[in-house]
Amino acid sequence: MATISENIQQLRARMERACEQASRPVHSVTLLVVTKTFPAEDVRAAFEAGERRFGENYVQEGIDKIASLADLRAQVEWHLIGPLQSNKTRVVAESFDWVHSVDRLKIAQRLSEQRPPELPPLQLCLQVNISGEASKSGVAPADVPALAQAVEALPRVRLRGLMAIPEPAASLAEQREPHRALAELLAALNRDGLALDTLSMGMTADLEAAILEGATVVRVGTAIFGARTPPPERPA
């Protein structure tokens, strides 16, 4: 069984091949190591393998890991990539460096109000429901421009770009379509006067398609840590 370090090396090689295919420099794509459901010691192993950016889906799990790995705090970035409810914004504003999952102005406003002034601005991405799935979080593409302009105006946060979790697709061509749509949406925002630089898209199964379409951040967990064990069902 491969170690976390070996898996990261294999993943980095895969990213490098995708960048070569896309005629992009390797450094133009950042790896965000997704650590949800995996223990703090696995995060530390990834850190020791050279990784510095970690993504969590669940607020409390992320807060617990940040505390467990407090000795690494000055050297790493913590990204919240999962849904954020308004009653959790304060602890996120106080603890994380990035939030990829902003889909309502209210959430961005609360993060702005609750970000401690002594910390750098909280970096934000708008989550876009690019495939139009009823079960997915995210703002509809048509509503992105107005939300982006409103978030851009807030203090103590900085709008960096867009994030999406496209509907799974079998072929590379099908995978590329929603990633291309998100990239086109970002380009349109920049033409409207915003200075955005982040496309957070692509995971273990579709990172090649995402890189081909301009991803600047790929969010990968399974290829590094293995398949997740689902949590036990709670009794009814």
pLDDT (tens digit per residue) in 92-131: 999 999 999 999 999 999 999 999 999 999 999 999 999 8
pLDDT at 232 over 80: no
The domains located in the chain, with CATH, are 4-225 (3.20.20.10)
Q: Quick one: pLDDT band at residue 49, thresholds 50, 70, 90?
A: very high
Q: Quick one: pLDDT band at residue 137, thresholds 50, 70, 90?
A: confident
By CB atoms closer than 10 A (0-12, 13-18, 19+), residue 53 is middle
| Residue 172: CB atoms within 10 Å | 11
Q: Note the pLDDT of residue 236.
A: 41
Strand partners, 30: 217
Q: Quick one: pLDDT band at residue 231, thresholds 50, 70, 90?
A: low
Q: Note the pLDDT of residue 230.
A: 61
DSSP class of 164? -
Longest dimension (CA), the chain: 53
